Structure formats: structure tokens, C-alpha cells
Structure 1
Amino acid sequence: MKPEAVVFDIGNVLLEWNPERFYDASIGPDRRRALFAEVDLAGMNEGVDLGAPFAASVQALAAANPKWAAEVMLWQDHWIDMASPPIPATIALLRALRAKGVPVFALTNFGRETFAFAQTRYDFLNEFDQAWVSGILRLVKPDPAIYAVLEAECGVAPERLFFTDDRAENIAAAGRRGWQTHHFTSAPGLAQALVSAGLLTESEARP
């Protein structure tokens, strides 16, 4: 069954997300490992993805961890450096689909404020036909409820949705709802999956 629309995850599919790399460059790998072991940066970020205010969340975590306050504040001051660089080959696939008139959606675990900020830096984040952002919905993948919201609002039957995400648990949740899925590991792999699904030709999928 040929899909009617493509749903993209964003982090590590269209845009690299690698806080560890940023901190390794900023404070060194050893201090970064100690920081991440002692301070729940990941948990704070998950809260932002669920709709908590970005700056207040970072500042509260810094205040709760005075030993690491300066390092924690780097998350606020240099967030965009962690959400970089864009992945050109995948963005090219998004644009190739749009050029053919295929609806292109986003389903992403992303903070409300950080997504809006990223849109000012990365044009491709403004090119979706519609985006479902966890921080706005206050739901995160792989919660089935976030997939249900997209299904209810997009106008495309679940079995006609083609979804790509780098996290296996998010792909599995979509698959249980009948979506067609591709576990993203590389842009060439996604290109071939889109060709196999009949959404792009080989030449259209070529970078």
C-alpha cells in the first residue's frame, strides 16, 4: 500500500542532537562524564519536551546543583550548539517529497520554546505541512496518545502514513498503530526506503 504522507522525526534525523559532543568540546570528556553522572540533564530535557518552560527548568537545575551551576547553564546559553548541525541529505529528501506534492509532517519530542527558536535558525523546520511538537501537546513519543493526536488531525489513514525516527521504541509504537515505518540510521537508508515505498524515484532520492 503506497503511503500518502511522510512523518519525520527531527532530532538525529533532520538535525543532529548531541549534547555530549558539545560538553566534551566545552569542558572535556572527563568532566562531561562526571556532570552527566551527577546531574540529571536528560531528565530536565525530558521535562522541557513535556512542556516545562525551558529557561526556568535549566535555571532550577543549576540552582539545585551549585557545584555544576556554570556547566548546567551552558545548556541554556548554548542549546542551539547542541542541536546542530542540520543533516543536508535528509533535508533534501524532505524537499524532494514536497516538490512531488507529498504531504510532509513532523512528529517530534521538542520543547515549545526551543522548537520556536530552532525555526528561526533552520529554514527547513518551517517547511512541514504540519508539525506535532511534544512540548505544545504535553505528550511525548512513544506515548500512544501523541500518535493518536496526529492521526485525528492529519486527515490521513494510519496505514497510509510513512514514519521515520531514529529511536526503535518510537518506531515500534507507530507500527502497533498500523503506520508504515522506517528505523532511521542514515540518509541513504531512508532514501532507499522512500524509493521502495513508491514515494520517490531513484533519481529524485539522489542527493
Structure 2
Amino acid sequence: MSIGIGENLSGSFGYAKDKLFGSIGNWILLIILTIIPIVNFIAMGTYLKVYRGEDPKVENIGKSFVDGLLILIIVFLYMLIPTIVLLILGGGAIFAAGLGGPQALMAGLGIGVLILCIILYILFGLIMTPAIVSFARGGFGDAFKFGQLFAMIGKAGWLKYILSIIILGIIFGIIGLLGAIPFVGWIIMIIIYPFLIVWGSKFWANLFE
């Protein structure tokens, strides 16, 4: 059984504090790498190390770059599937409407397609995090072993997982309001962004231990 949400939040926060405050130079490197397009794949690969139980230290940048690129591909593929379903079914609904079908039937069909696609986006979104964790600890193919991914969520607890998403989202959302501070807000967010990512990564690493 995984640890409680509160304990996980405080423990992962302490981890991020120790790893980044304990190495300010590495934190500065992560800030720089994170804000530069393409180069930020190195930062993504560095954050991925946390899932493996490694320190988020900027080193072996070639592997980190590839890992970051693979994360992008995984996310793209996970969003591609429900998007294809939306295009196929949505296109079919539009075609049927063009043939002059009953208006009520076409409206119902459109709503049905929309609901189905929303469910698919939510489902694939839910398994995306354990997919990336599984990729970090195994290989690219592990991100698509759906039985294994559902088992990971089941072991952690579906309710705990969903509550974790909500709570972490609220916390990060509140912190994100700092970005609304005139002039200095965006600077603050750039500085603390690596801390938030390491904190969140350690949280998910603990949840799916």
C-alpha cells in the first residue's frame, strides 16, 4: 500500500528542497534548460530520473535529451488515439448530417460522439502519468503495456490517484497565481518551475512505488 497523500506531499516537497537547494548550480542549469525550446528535452529527461530513484542532476545530457524526446512522443501518441476517434466519428456524424438525416437524431449522434471522446481523453490522460513512470523504469514499450499501467493505478488505489491529481492540481494552480504578479510574476515562476516539477515527479514516483 502506498503512503498517504499528505505524507507524500510533504515527503516529496522535502525531497525537492534537499535536491535543489542543496545544489543551487544544478537548479540554475535546470532553469536555463527548461526555458529554451528543443534544449528543454534535456530538462525533461533530467526530471524523468526522479521516477527511477535517481537525483535530478544535469549530466549525461545525450541520454536525457533522448528521454525527453521520447516523453513528448508518448504524450503525442496518447492524445493521438482519442483525437483519431474524434475525427473519424465526428466526420461520420457531419457526413450523416449532410445526407439530411433527422435533426434530433443528428444532434443526439453529435452529443454521443462528444461524450465518448471526452471519456477517451480523460481515460488516456489518467493512464499517461503511470505510462511515463513505467517508461522511466523500464523502456519505451512499457509506456503502452496497458494491463501493467492499470495494475499500477489499482495498486495505488483509483480513488487515491484521482484525489492526488485534484489536490496536486489545486496546489500547483494556487502557486501558479504568482505568475499574475506584475513584472516579477513570470520571473518567479521560471525560477520555481524546476522545483515544482521535481516535487510533482517525486510525488508520482512515491505513489506508484
Tell me whether the two structures share a fold, i.e. TM-score over 0.5: no
Which structure: greater helix fraction?
A: 2
TM-score, normalized by length of structure 1? 0.24
Which structure: greater strand fraction?
A: 1
TM-score, normalized by length of structure 2? 0.24
